[in-house]
A and B are shown apart, each in its own frame.
Chain A
Amino acid sequence: MSETKKTILKSAWVLGLFSLIGIGLVSLTHAITAEKIAENERLFILKNLRVLVPDEMHDNDLLSDVSHVSDPVFGNEQSVKIYKAFSKQQLVAIIAAPTAADGYNGSIKLLVAIRADGELIGVRVVSHQETPGLGDAIDSNKSDWVLGFAGLSLDKPQLKDWQVKRDGGSFDQFTGATITPRAVVKAVRRTLQYYQTHKANLVTQQEHADG
């Protein structure tokens, strides 16, 4: 009996020791890499933002002038990040990061840049899991479709035309993929609508918690 106890105790010690060593090594690596990883993530977001709103357009740090907003127009209670670009304390553009939850295969994360006057600077897809070769044409690396949003606004085309052609609107769908562009068009339209309603709240250069 005591022999069994001894074996169990020894096993417990060995297992405990290995857990400690494992945790120690992982923590150490984490401590060494944490700063670099945070920096990578920051640069990655900035790189995406710069494509839409280049540095010359603004004089503030996009990553520090950020609001997290939630609004019925975005649906499903999601919180949407809005980066604001200012030049001499004047709002020149916003970049919203809405998620289209109704993609064909999971959610599509977008960046929607809107100039202060409500015109779209451009739209980019940050991440998606749409079907390769069909739905992934929303990716600017795969096709120019998403570039077509530049210069559009809520009046151009008219609100009722902010749909894919299949639904009677004016946006092209892809051969074999309607759901993906439909989701993107809808998310962009919603973002424009949000901006139109809440423009007044966004123009001041201060942290503004809107909901």
Chain B
Amino acid sequence: MDSYRQILKNGLWVNNQAFVALLGLCPLLAVSNTLINGLGLGIATTLTLILSNTLISLVRQQVGGEIRLPVFVLIIASIVTIIELIMNAYFYELYLILGIFIPLIVTNCAIIGRAEAYASKNPVGASAMDGLSMGLGFTAALVLLGALREMIGSGTLFANAHLMFGEAASGMTLTLIDDYEGFLLAILPPGAFIGLGLLIALKNVIDKRLAKPSQQTVTVDFATKKA
């Protein structure tokens, strides 16, 4: 069993579902036009992941073999429907924006992916942790991409924050550049693809930088031996 730390690192960075596994791109690209939209869908997805991983891990002994996948789908669909109803009841305004994307969480392959690859083989605690980490990683990706697109596209940050945090947060909207004309491409779907591509490239650059020092020590060792 992996340590919780390892699981967290996996979800946030090493095996980030959006940047590395490239799963769940449909909701990712569709909803990431503002930071708050991204955050909203990220939280809903994280909740789904934690619940589905926990439940699936609990029943993993009883449900094996050929009916495994239909049962997973049933569990995930039920959870998503329940989350949708709850959002509709208690976060109505946010639901109006994210509404059509919430059912799409069912089709987010990251969720069935984690159910099959992790929760069906690991104990409850680790599975819940995996759900949380993968969810946080996905949320981070949504928020980053959302912030990037919102800044470039509309020149603001935290627009519509009141939909999520109540009226008190309506002053949170930061206007970065006054009278910004807006950059349409960033808000439209192509902007999502370009933005995601840039973020993945950035992650790869960082990974390479991080990997370099260890390589250097290896060469140095080799050099000293030779000498």
Q: Tell yes or no: B172 within 8 A of A by CB.
A: no
Contact of B184 among A11, A21, A22, A132 (CB under 8 A): A132
Q: How far, in angstroms, from A210 to B78 measured CA to CA in the complex?
A: 42
Give every chain B residue within 8 A of A134 (Cβ-Cβ).
184
Q: How far, in angstroms, from A110 to B187 measured CA to CA in the complex?
A: 24
Q: Tell yes or no: A133 within 8 A of B by CB.
A: yes
Q: For A44, give the chain B residue with the smallest CB separation.
A: B92
Residue contact A25 to B92, C-beta cutoff 8 Å? no
Q: Tell yes or no: A14 within 8 A of B by CB.
A: yes
Residue contact A18 to B89, C-beta cutoff 8 Å? no
Q: How far, in angstroms, from A11 to B71 measured CA to CA in the complex?
A: 10
Q: For A43, give the chain B residue with the smallest CB separation.
A: B92
Q: Tell yes or no: A90 within 8 A of B by CB.
A: no
Q: Tell yes or no: B200 within 8 A of A by CB.
A: no
Q: Which label, helix, strand, loop or mixed, suits the secondary structure of the B interface?
A: helix
Residue contact A132 to B82, C-beta cutoff 8 Å? no
Give every chain B residue within 8 A of A132 (Cβ-Cβ).
33, 153, 184, 187-188
Q: How far, in angstroms, from A11 to B96 measured CA to CA in the complex?
A: 39
Report A36-51 CB contacts with B as 1/0, cut-off 8 Å. 1100100010000000
Q: Tell yes or no: A30 within 8 A of B by CB.
A: yes
A-B contact pairs, 16 of them (CB 8 A): A7-B65, A14-B62, A14-B71, A15-B70, A18-B75, A22-B77, A26-B78, A26-B81, A29-B86, A37-B88, A40-B92, A132-B33, A132-B153, A132-B187, A133-B182, A133-B187
Known: A15-B74, A29-B82, A131-B188. 4 other contacts (CB 8 A): A7-B65, A14-B67, A26-B82, A132-B187
